[in-house]
Structure 1
Amino acid sequence: FEDAFEIEIKIAYGDYQLAKMVAKNTINSDIQTIFSPNQFYSFRVRAKTSDIYSGYSNVISSIFQFPAPVFSGITQISETSLKLTWEGRTSFEEGFIIERGTSYSNTVEIGRVGQNVASFIDQGLDVHKKYYYKLYAFTKHNKSNYTTRSVVYSPWYSASFTVSLKHDFGYLLSPDEKVFAVNNPGKAEPVIELYTADYFHSLLRQIYSTDPLVRTTTNIEFSKDGKYIAGVNSDNTLTLWNTNVTAIYKSISVNGSEGILRFNPDLHTVAFATKGNIYFWNYTDGSIIKVLNDLETSGITSFVFNQDGNHFLVGGAQGLSLWDKNSWSKIRDIVGSSGYSNAAFSKDGKYIIASNSSSIAIWENAGSTLPKQIVSGDGTRQAVMSSDNNYVYSVSNSRVSCYLLPDGELIDAAYFTDMPTSIMLLNDGLQMICKFSDRLVFWTLKFEWVG
């Protein structure tokens, strides 16, 4: 005998309010109102006549869900554009809103598409930035929860060639990247072999010592014009060979057989750091230029010239220091460098990079300020910067890693069952050589937007 039914609604802990009245004999009804996502709603019903009301029904409660769409893929279109795709999760959305920023907390709308559209092309991207996307579904009155996706222009490693070599070998690439030199310290003659740089396709020539019992004990080094190759030997001599004819060009007596050998870009200076001292020679006539004594009491672990040869870095247990080659004076101690080794300059000389077993440090302003630190935490042996200063590559116990600057976020890594010992980036930035104890692995670096 009821005349109608009243449907009431309550939001969370608020009061019930009339939502809708329906005719007698009605057993279900939709509610047309503005619901808020993730809000708790309660409903109850009572019957009425013109004079009286029944009691209330049992209460039905529910949280209104407006689920977020789900990203399903990222497709690179070009170096500066990509396509985002997703899947909607409701039947009532009226479209989708896409936001982008360089952090999750700082995104702005960059586009919106209509109902049943499930892709968006973003253009004008900077390959040196990491981007964060937020995606919403929307109706006239509401937005869904959002889903997020970060993307970065990342290199991934594709091994293109492997060269097997003897244990404990040393290798070097000529400045023009056309010739490989390989040194096997424990090997019988020849002491150095020169190969074409196209994956060791051809043996160019072999270099012999004057004494078959003498072995080259240090790193070998090309002069900056590629005309000479040098090594320090077990008989405490520094030998320079002419790379064109493999004849000995000069032999210089040195104070030690273990250390770090470096050519200066001035095309006449060669230097050898050993036992805490550095010796500088004019290799055109074999004369001594300068000796810097007692720079590191526990031994020198880093020694390298900058790109124009006017400055050099020296490092040991006490830290790194920057020196002027023309005045032979220390410019400064590098701030916060204690415990770091394997120091190097960036290609343009703007940065100094070094590593220890758990972190990588990068200094600007010639080391006058505290460094940017990247926590690697896995026995880091070496770190190098890309030629555009946007990436850092490191080699550690089980992997070669890539970090994006300036934040130093790990964006890619290649893992190995054995231990890589060093890496070399070629000048084009698209090839890398990774040294293991018994082989060289040549990689092609392919960059693409990933997320």
Structure 2
Amino acid sequence: MRTIQFFSKLLFFFIFIAIFNSCKDDIVDPPIINSKPTVKILSPSPDEIILESTLIVISAKDDNEVTSVELFIDGKTDSSKIFFEEPYQYLWNTENYSDSSKHSIFAVAYDNDGDSTKSEIINVMNYTFSPSNLNTELISDTLITLTWHDNSKVETGYEVELSEGNNFNHILTAPANSNSANIIRPFYSNNPYIFRVRAVADSVKSKFTNTDTVYFGFEAPADLNILSFTDELLQLKWEDKTDFENGFEIEISEDGSEFKPYRTASNNIVSFAITDTFNINVNYQFRVRAVSEYNFSEYSNVVSKLLALPPPGGLTATSISDNEIKLDWTDNSDFEKGFIVERKLNDDNFSLIDSLPPNTISWNDTALALSNDYTYRINTFSKYNYVINNDSLKLSYDTDTSPIKIVSDYTNYFRGAKFSPDGKIIASYSRYLILWEFSSMRKIKVTDPHNEYLNAVAFSPDGNYLATAAQNGEIKVWTFPDLFLVNTFTESKPIIEDICFSPDGKYLASCTMNLPIHLWNIENGTIEKTYGVYNNFPTSVIFSPDGNYIFSGNGQSSARVYNAETTELIWHLTGHFDSVTGIDYDEKSNLIATSSLDGCVILWNMNTGSSVKILAESSGYLTGVDISPDGKTVIAGSYDRNLYQWEISSGSLYRRMDSHTNNVQGCSFSNSGKYILTVCSDPKLRVFNAAGKWMKN
């Protein structure tokens, strides 16, 4: 088997030699040997730093034409990295790669012979380069601050560009490792300012950051208000809507005139006081705007106010007494310095009578004469203005003579009546004692305490007791208002004319025809003291308020004053021409008043015992006298059916109450001094206001 194989191979060799020799004469040139393509990465260089993007440039050559070039990055390729013609370039974006990441690059070139060549592997390192998160902050109209995130480790600086609504222009270069920049220049309101930033590394520039826009709106102050406004001070308030004004300009207009500059205020001010002279009855308008070095805002809202100094309104008068009124008014002004009270007497001219401080709303005139008419007006003044009030109030004294209450009892002839000390009850007497409720004038009790006609009643000063005296000489003391009997005294002779409690309520004085005045001890019913002598014919008796004196009138046309303690006669007052029917004493004026059947009231000086005034108006007998609690007037009832009231200071007749239809048997004031009670033979009890009123004329 091996022999056969050997001879076969030998035969094949000889055949090959024969064929070779037969073809030797036909070969001219040796056959061509095909070459492989050459490929090289020109850029980037080995170990080059890539800043987010780079252009990869490849060189590929072949004698028989390069048909394609493939680029491999980190061992991977895709259709975008296959090139079929020059230039063999690829823009490699590395911004999404990790910072400081390493990468490899190589290329493979192919020719028409199907040959291929792989380039040298280029190793590079990628760094993040572009800044991000650009923010802008408007600090003032000369300063905008930019901040960004520095993403690079290799930048040599940053370029800041600005657009004002058109092209971007380079305005600032910031140094490496910066993350902020201050843009210092004028900025104008209502302009958009658009910024962007990029990093640079020598000649390499990163992409720009996001753009950020500052729209510089210089807002106007808002909610302008007038806090207060006087003729010397203006207080304005507004809301500051901007953070970087240099101040505010305040403008003023008067009665619709053009606005003009008025005052300036510092920055951050929201309340501003202006001291000036302002005229009343002028309509002032104000507006404010913010200003800075290069800008001014729109104006605020306009506020206006008519500066007025209105005089007081609603002037009214309240009658306090015969010679006093109280004026009340409404203060209509916010800034008066005070008020001037002017008064006109009858038809004379107005004259100043008082100057009042601001915010006053009432004033009392205490020096009035009943015979005059008075006209008042209240004027207003401030620091720079004076306003005369066109409204005035004229007052005249109305001497109302009509009774306010009347009560009748046709079964019981009234001899007299008295108010209780608290003024709530009236005790009338004749055959019966009747207690009346003053408010309603209804009977609350009727009693016959003596089975005899009564001549007098008296209340204790504290109102706890009532004493009654009868014609038969009997005196009884009762609790009041229950009328439980406390004690009974009996004079040796009738008829008892008058009785009176001492101020301390422990004693009772009585006067009886043909007897001296007796002072009874209420507790034990004994006579403690006797005043005067027999046959003095005392008709009336009273104590002084301090209890030091006893006064009595008598039927011998005179009156007497005794020392209550010693019973010594102090004064014997003579001057009447007929019996003295009543006596009273006013401690404040130190005057004694007596009434007489001669129709006169005489006022006596307690210190000298001499007569001071004689009041003579009545054409009939006077039945009693009483001085008002305030000591200003005196009253007397008369048989001519009138009640007379005189003004003590002037001695003039104050008024005459002529509504009685028969003799006035008695008269007295209430302890409050507000009312006068009269007893008439008609038979009626009448109650009058004790004083007239100052009324609007």
TM-score, length-scaled by structure 2: 0.42
Partner of 2:662: 418
Cα distance in 2 for residues equivalent to 1:271 and 1:392: 23
Which residue of the partner structure matches residue 442 of structure 2? 201
**Residue of structure 1 equivalent to 2:85:** none
Supply the distance in 1 between the matched residues of 2:581 and 2:415 (Cα, whole angstroms).
Answer: 22
**Matches for 1:318-397 after TM superposition, within 5 Å:** 318-334=557-573, 336=575, 339=578, 340-346=580-586, 348=588, 350-356=590-596, 357-379=598-620, 380-396=622-638, 397=640
Q: Which structure carries more relative contact order (alpha carbon 8 Å, separation 6+)?
A: 1
> Are the aligned partners of 2:637 and 2:643 in contact in 1 as well (CA < 8 Å)?
yes
Give 2:486's aligned residue. 249
Residue 130 of structure 1, CA deviation: 4.5
Q: In 1, distance between residues paired with 2:575 and 2:696?
A: 34
* Amino-acid identity (%): 17
Whether contact under 8 Å (1:158, 1:446) holds in the other structure is no
Superposed CA offset, 1:270-327 (max 9, x none): 12111241111101111220223525x3511232111122201122215112111111
Structure 1 residues 5-44: aligned runs within 5 Å: none
Which amino acid in 2 is paired with 1:265? P
Deviations 1:42-96, CA, capped at 9 Å, x for gaps: xxxxxxxxxxxxxxxxxxxxxxxxxxxxxxxxx98454489xxxxxxxxxxxxxx
Distance 1:131 1:300, change over 3 A: closer
Assess, with a 3 A threshold, how the Cα gap between structure 1 residues 194 and 347 changes in structure 2: closer, same or farther: farther
Q: Which position in structure 1 is the counterpart of 2:499?
A: 261
Query: C-alpha distance in 1, partners of 2:523/2:649?
Result: 43
What is the rounded CA distance, in whole Å, between the counterparts of 2:589 and 2:528 in structure 1?
25
1:218 aligns with 2:449: no
Question: Quick check: 1:239–1:252 contact (8 Å CA) kept in 2?
Answer: yes
Distance 1:134 1:267 in 2: 46
1:432 pairs with 676, 679, 688, which one? 676
In the aligned structure 2, how far is the partner of 1:286 from the partner of 1:359? Answer: 37
What's 2:469 paired with? 232
For 1:270, the equivalent position in structure 2 comes to 508
Distance (whole Å) between structure 2 residues aligned to residue 349 and residue 77 of structure 1: 29
Structure 1 position 163 matched with structure 2 position 407: yes
Q: TM-score if structure 1 supplies the norm length?
A: 0.62
Which residue of 307, 311, 314 corresponds with 2:545? 307
Change (3 A) 1:201 1:323: same
Aligned pair in 2 of structure 1 residues 327, 447: CA closer, same or farther (>3 Å)?
same
> d(CA) in 1 for partners of 2:371 and 2:472?
57
**Structure 2 partner of 1:117:** none
- Structure 1 position 176 matched with structure 2 position 422: yes
Amino acid at match of 1:241: W
> CA offsets per residue over residues 241-288 of structure 1, 9 Å max, x none?
222542221122211231221211122111211124111110111122
- 2:527 aligned residue: 288
Query: Is 1:128–1:153's contact at 8 Å kept on the other side of the alignment?
Result: no
User: Equivalents in 2 of 1:398, 1:192: separation in Å?
Assistant: 24
Contact between 2:600 and 2:614, CA under 8 Å: does it hold in 1? yes
Q: Contact 1:99/1:134 (CA < 8 Å) preserved in 2?
A: yes
Distance 1:327 1:337, change over 3 A: farther
Deviations 1:413-439 (A, max 9, x none): 232343322222223333222211211
Separation of aligned partners in 2, 1:388 and 1:234: 34
In the alignment, the residues of structure 2 paired with residue 177 and residue 152 of structure 1 have an alpha-carbon distance, to the nearest angstrom, of: 29
Partner of 2:158: none
Question: 1:337-385 deviations in whole A, cap 9, x for unaligned?
Answer: 5644411112646221112233221123345233211221412333333
d(CA) in 2 for partners of 1:411, 1:221: 28
For 1:440, the aligned partner's letter is: L
Cα distance change of structure 1 residues 245 and 422 upon mapping to structure 2, 3 Å threshold = closer
Provide the C-alpha distance between the structure 2 equivalents of 1:81 and 1:233, rounded to a whole number of angstroms: 47
Distance 1:321 1:151, change over 3 A: farther
Any conservation in 2 of the 1:226–1:243 contact (CA below 8 Å)? yes
> C-alpha separation between the residues in 2 aligned to 1:228 and 1:408?
36
Whole-angstrom CA distance in 2 between matches of 1:124 and 1:260: 41
The equivalent of 1:63 in structure 2 is: none
SS of 2:442's partner is coil
Contact 2:520 2:529 (8 Å CA) reproduced: yes
Label 1:181 to 1:327 Cα distance change in 2 as closer, same or farther (>3 A). same
Instruction: Write the distance in 1 (CA, Å) between the matches of 2:605 and 2:636.
Output: 19
Match of 1:401 in 2: 644
Are 2:642 and 2:664, in contact at CA under 8 Å, matched by a contact in 1?
yes
Does the CA contact (< 8 Å) of 2:417 and 2:678 recur in 1? no
Distance 1:352 1:433, change over 3 A: same
- The unaligned stretches of length 5 or more in structure 1 are 1-74, 83-97, 102-106, 113-122, 136-149, 186-190
What SS does the corresponding residue of 1:219 show, helix, strand or coil?
strand
Query: Distance in 1 between the 2:518 and 2:562 partners?
Result: 14
Partner AA of 1:160 in structure 2: I
Q: Give the whole-Å Cα distance in 1 for the aligned partners of 2:441 and 2:588.
A: 29
CA contact (8 A) 1:100 1:131 kept: no
The one-letter code matched in structure 2 to 1:345 is Y
Question: Aligned partners of 2:427 and 2:568: how far apart in 1?
Answer: 34
Closer/same/farther in 2, CA of residues 418 and 251 from structure 1, 3 Å limit:
closer
CA distance in 2, matches of 1:421, 1:100: 40
The alpha carbon displacement at 1:110 in A equals: 3.8
CA distance in 2, matches of 1:234, 1:318: 22
- Which amino acid is 1:354 matched to? T
Which structure has the larger Rg over C-alpha atoms?
A: 2
Aligned to 1:33: none
Residue identity in the other structure for 1:161: K
CA distance in structure 2 between the partners assigned to 1:155 and 1:127 by the alignment: 18
Letter in 1 for 2:560: S
CA RMSD of aligned residues (A): 3.4
Q: Distance in 1 between matches of 2:407 and 2:373?
A: 43
Q: Letter of the aligned partner of 1:329 in structure 2?
A: E
